Chain A
Amino acid sequence: MTERMWNNHEMRSSYDVVIIGGGAHGLATAYYLAKNHGITNIAVIEQKFIGYGGSGRNTAILRSNYRTEEGILFYDQSLKLYEDLAQELDYNLMFSQQGHFTLGHSTASMQALTTRAAYNRALGVNSTILDPPEIKKMLPEIDISNHPRYPIMGALYHPPGGIIRHDAVVWSYARGADQRGVHIHQLTEVQDILVENGEVRGVKTNRGTIHCKQVVSCVAGWSSEICKMVGIKLPLVTHPLQALVTTDYKPWLHHVVVSSTLHIYLSQTDRGELVCGNGIDHYPHYGMRSTLGFLESYAAHLLELFPILHNVTVQRQWAGLCDMTPDYSPIISMVDDVDGFYINCGWGTWGFKGSPASGWNTAQMVAERKTPDMIAAFRHDRYVKNRLVGEKAAASVGN
């Protein structure tokens, strides 16, 4: 019998905090609430199973080379938490800080990358601009000739960026939270959130009602539906994002490579598979289906960068849901009109790398009932107050 990573518990009729969503963000929040703040009477409720959503469907790329001060500091905290996470959770997360390339294919994108490098360095994040021969030295198989439709003009190189085993992050946060007394309830679907006189009273689920004074919504692509239950409209649009994994290939790619112009990013796992991701589908959708069109355009773009890969075969493709915000920054926020309700969403295509800092700060916000400085910029109503945190220029791919 394999050792269970977390236990099944009877559902209590009340908890101090209910976290909706058993992905990396929800579980990290539960873990840090227990570890940093001693709050352990917590239920994490998940409609399917742990890691079913974006946490199990992303391409597990980590980096902090963002564009705004708020973004850079936040993702830098996240990356630093990731660096110590394997030791802290006593779990091999296979974190490999192999370095991260963002390729530029136009003068405009080189300018944007140069600005990012400067901002990054000013805030202590390691980022530099490389020219094509320097790129070629580190990625010998890349085509830096002027034959492709979009020749490479340079790259933003970010040495601390890398990849991690995403399932292991989810499982180890779940185990860490479980060991501290948190209850994880899978196959539990939220039907309503109970609010009285502007205060949270509980959560109605398909397995009965749970009484609580604090509810955290960490449901990414499904956030609009959950927040509607307390009368909050969000600036989110849910789009699918597709990815694929190839069959094993010789160890060949030792860095993460991203090209926003070609809409692709790829990395190689320790098993030799290439994990490849794309931009989001161009219309909103709640279905997680993969398309042939994605496969075709991906293959064409990949071979422009790396002609050597023409024989590599596709093993599997899949899709996940992304909750896109207008400024490509997340929402981590209290709500003025509903005391005890917290929103954690807007993770779009950039969520996995943010989950430790997201959990850390959300936990602090719930425990202290006030917004930590680190995430003050990420309020849900910043849009209508015209306080956007523009990270579109730092998104992996032009969506």
Chain B
Amino acid sequence: MSAIQYIKDIYGAVKSLLIGMKQTGYYFTHHKEIITQNYPEEKQQLAERFRGEVVMTHDSNNEHKCTGCTACELACPNGTIKIVTKFEQTPEGKKKKAIDKFVYHLELCTMCNLCVVACPTDAIKMDQAFEHSVFDRSQLTKVLNKPGSKIMEGVE
């Protein structure tokens, strides 16, 4: 190793290190580059398509669109959805199948959206809620149809 090469090596090394320090020094002095969000105070606006959990839409008359066809149950890869059906008396006296309980296991759900795609009546959709942590796992098993809700008129 010649002496000139030796000095050149040192010069190059020091230069590359100083360039690196310039970068971190830039960020140290430019506080507006900070990207931290203080989570509970500053909540990020979630995307409208964000998939947080499955919900069933109810209108103001407490009516939903679910016919209990179990398309979503079949589409689900994890066995997240269990539909319990019952027979209801229609005004004409006919017996009609309707849902009793739409059981949704949030703890098994991977938010893959396949159930929403499979639903023929758009009864369920994905909601943006993401703060799902609870102390007891059983609270993650939800019944999506609200108590006393009925199927909407005209949905087959």
Partners in one complex: no
Measured CB to CB, the residues of B under 8 A from A are none
Measured CB to CB, the residues of A under 8 A from B are none
